[in-house]
Amino acid sequence: MPRYVLLILDDPNRASSAGQAGAEMAKMGRFAGELAKQGKITGGSPLKPMAEAVRVREKSGRLTVTDGPFTETKEMVGGFFVIEAANRQEAIEIAKQCPHNALGPVEVREVLEVGGPPR
């Protein structure tokens, strides 16, 4: 069965109180629990803040390391789910159920399997 990554995208400038953040995490936890009951989730996790991230890239033959946060970022990946779905349309239907949609986009990307899925 194909695997898809649901990327939870967020506005890095969106502020929320500790209570709001806790409520949002609880909703996402319930969503993950439902996916687990359906046997659809194979992995995923929230990510630490962008301020703790680094970017490594090659530029003009030199490797550069840039500490976050990244001022040019309009959306950041706040977390992800790895799911199994029969096809792209089913993955989209699952993404439509994600509570994060009220706050920001959920990007659906099929995993390009190289050598078969890990088990």
- pTM (2 decimals)? 0.85
CATH number among 3.10.129.10, 3.30.70.1060, 3.40.50.620, 3.40.50.12780, domain 3-110: 3.30.70.1060
In angstroms, the CA 100 to CA 98 distance is 5
Provide the pLDDT for residue 73.
72
**Is the Cβ–Cβ distance between 26 and 92 less than 8 Å?**
no
Indicate the average pLDDT of the chain.
90
In angstroms, the CA 63 to CA 89 distance is 39
14 pLDDT above the threshold of 60: yes
Provide the pLDDT for residue 17.
82
pLDDT digits (tens, 9 = 90+) for 63-115: 999 888 777 777 889 999 999 999 999 999 999 999 999 999 999 999 998 88
Percent of the chain with pLDDT over 90: 63
Confidence of residue 119 (pLDDT cuts 50, 70, 90): low
Domain edges within the chain: 3-110
